[in-house]
Amino acid sequence: MRPRWMLGIVLAAGAYATPAPTRSFPNILLVTIDTLRADHVSCYGYHLETTPVLDRLAAEGVRFARAYTTIPQTGPAHISLFTSTYPQQHGSRINGVSYNAKARLLFLPQVLRRYGYRTAAFVSAWPLIKRLTNLDVWFDDWDEQLDRRYQLFNTQRWAEDVTPRVTAWLHNTKHQPFFLWVHYFDPHEPYDLREAFARLKQVRAPALANGPAVQDPEMQERVRAYDSEVAYADHYLGQLLSTLHRLGLAERTIVVVLADHGESLGEHNYVGHGRHLYEHIVQIPFIIRYPGVIPPGRVVREPVSLLDVMPTLLELALERNGESVHLPFPLEGKSLVPALTGNGSLEPRTLYFLTYAGKKGFLPNWFARLWVDEDELPLRLGRVSGDSKVIWTPSEHRMELYELARDPEELSPSLPVRTSPRYRSEQLRLERWYRMTAGQAGQLQLTEKDVQVLRSLGYLH
C-alpha cells in the first residue's frame, strides 16, 4: 500500500540534520515560474505558442490540468510548496514574513539532505531572499545575486542571468544526487516586452474575451508583454533542460515545473494577483517528467494542490527506490504517484486557498502581531470541490458560488445573502477549516527598504 503520509515514527529534529549514506536516488529539478497563469501556457489551451518547451515536457510526462496554489503571494506560496502546509500553519502569510520557527514543519530539502542529496537554490526575486524567508538554511548552496533594477533597487534578475549560473553549478555537481530549485521571476510585473518573443505563432482559435477590460488597447498591450515574458522564460527553461541532456542527467532526473500563483490581466476589473482568488490567479500549471517511471503524455484532470509536490517527490525519489520514509507529523498534501504512473486514481477531495490583506505601511518587528493577527480571518478564503467553487470575503459578508464546468471564467456567480442557509453552511465550513489549521504568525523580517521594494513590485498597498 502506498504511503498516506500520516504520522510515522517520531524522530528528533536532529535526525534530519546529518546526511545518510547516498543510495542511487534520482536527481530532482524543481522549477518555479513566478506568476504564470495556466491558461496562458499553450499546452493548457492558450491560442498562442507561448511555451514550446513546457509543451514538450508535458508530452514526455504528466500534465495536471487543474492544479491550485494555496495563496497568491510568492514567499508564502513557496514555503507552502516546501513544507506541504497551508500559510496559516507555517506562519508566512504575506511577503516579508518568514515561517514560524516553532511550527511543526519539515522542509522538502531538509528531508532530502537526510538521504544524501546535495541541495541548491537559485532565486530571482526579492520576496524569496534569505533574509526574508530563512529558506536558505535548508540548502547547501544558495544563490540570490539580484542585479536587475526596478525603480531604484536591485530587486530581481532575468532568466538569462540565472540560467548560466545554474548550468555552471550542474557542471560542478558529480557523484551525488541533487535537489535543485530554480526560480524564474520573469512573468511577474513589471513586464518587459521581449521583442524576440513577441511574435508568437497562433496554434488554435483564440477564446472569447473575458470582459471589457481585456478589450481595452492598453490591456491588450499588457497581455502582449506578459505573453512575451512567458515565452522568454520558457526559452531559458529549454536551455536548462538541454544542459541536463548534454550532461547525461536527463534520464535519471525528475523534473517538476509549476507556478507559485497566476495573474489577473483585467478579468473582474482587476490586474495583479495578491488580493483575489479567481481561477486566473489560483490555478497554476503543474508538469512532472520522470523517464522510465512516469508514462509520457498523461493528463490528470482531478484537482490537485501545490501542497502535493512534497509528498509526491518523497515517494517518487525515496520510497520507490527502497527507502522507508517516516515523517514525525503529517503533511497536508497527498502523493500523486498512483495517478502519475497509471496504477491508481485520485480520491475526490476539497482543496482550499486563501489570501491576507497584507501590510499597509512600515512597522517595526515588534509591532508585527498587530497587523498579522493569528486569530483574524484572512481577507478571502476559498475552496474547490470538483467543479463547485466558493470564494468568501468575510469583511464584506460576500460569498460567491461558481459551477466551473458551465462558468469557467467565473462570470455568473450565485450570491447567497448572509442570512441564507447556504451562506451560513459555507461560512461555517470555511471558518472551521481555517480555525482547525491556524497556527501562530511568522516573524516579520521587513526593513523600511524592503517595504519600498515590495511596494514597487505591487505587493504592498
With bands split at pLDDT 50, 70 and 90, how would you rate the model's confidence at 383?
very high
Question: Which whole number is the average pLDDT over 442-458?
Answer: 57
Q: pLDDT for 192-243, tens place per residue?
A: 999 999 999 999 888 754 444 566 888 889 999 999 999 999 999 999 999 9
With bands split at pLDDT 50, 70 and 90, how would you rate the model's confidence at 112?
very high
DSSP element (H, E) containing 76 = helix 74-83
Of 56-60, 255-259, 320-324, the one with minimum mean pLDDT is 320-324
Query: Does residue 311 have a pLDDT over 50?
Result: yes
Q: How far apart are CA 417 and CA 329, in angstroms?
A: 40
- Give residue 390's pLDDT: 98
The residue ranking higher by pLDDT, 272 or 368, is: 272
> Position 337: which residue type?
V
Query: Does residue 355 have a pLDDT over 90?
Result: yes
Instruction: For residue 48, list its beta bridge partners.
Output: 202
Question: Which whole number is the average pLDDT over 181-194?
Answer: 94
Question: Which whole number is the average pLDDT over 410-436?
Answer: 96
Residue 442, burial from CB neighbour count under 10 angstroms (0-12, 13-18, 19+): buried
Question: Which whole number is the average pLDDT over 287-303?
Answer: 95
Query: Does residue 440 have a pLDDT over 70?
Result: no
Query: Does residue 48 have a pLDDT over 80?
Result: yes
The residue ranking higher by pLDDT, 318 or 97, is: 318
Query: Does residue 284 have a pLDDT over 60?
Result: yes
Q: How many DSSP H helices and E strands does the chain contain?
A: 13, 19
With bands split at pLDDT 50, 70 and 90, how would you rate the model's confidence at 330?
confident
Query: 14-28, 53-67, 209-223, 347-361: which has the highest mean pLDDT?
Result: 53-67
Q: pLDDT for 123-144, tens place per residue?
A: 999 899 999 999 999 999 999 9
Query: Does residue 156 have a pLDDT over 80?
Result: yes
Q: How far apart are CA 75 and CA 344, in angstroms?
A: 33
Question: Which whole number is the average pLDDT over 281-302?
Answer: 96
For 265, 348, 376, 402, 448, the CA distances from 425, given in Å and listed in that order, are 32, 20, 20, 16, 42
CB atoms within 10 A of CB 51: 30
Q: How far apart are CA 146 and CA 125, in angstroms?
A: 7
DSSP element (H, E) containing 391 = strand 388-393
Which three cell numbers, joined as nine digits, stand for 187? 512573468
Look-up of cell digits 474575451: 209
- Give residue 176's pLDDT: 87
- Give residue 452's pLDDT: 64
Kindly state the DSSP code that residue 348 receives in the 8-state scheme: P
Q: What integer best gives the mean pLDDT of the chain?
A: 86
Domain annotation for the chain: domains and CATH numbers: 13-341 (3.40.720.10), 350-456 (no CATH)
Query: 99-113, 203-217, 223-237, 330-344: which has the highest mean pLDDT?
Result: 223-237
Q: Tell me if residue 446 falls in helix, strand or coil.
A: coil
- Give residue 222's pLDDT: 92
- Give residue 318's pLDDT: 95
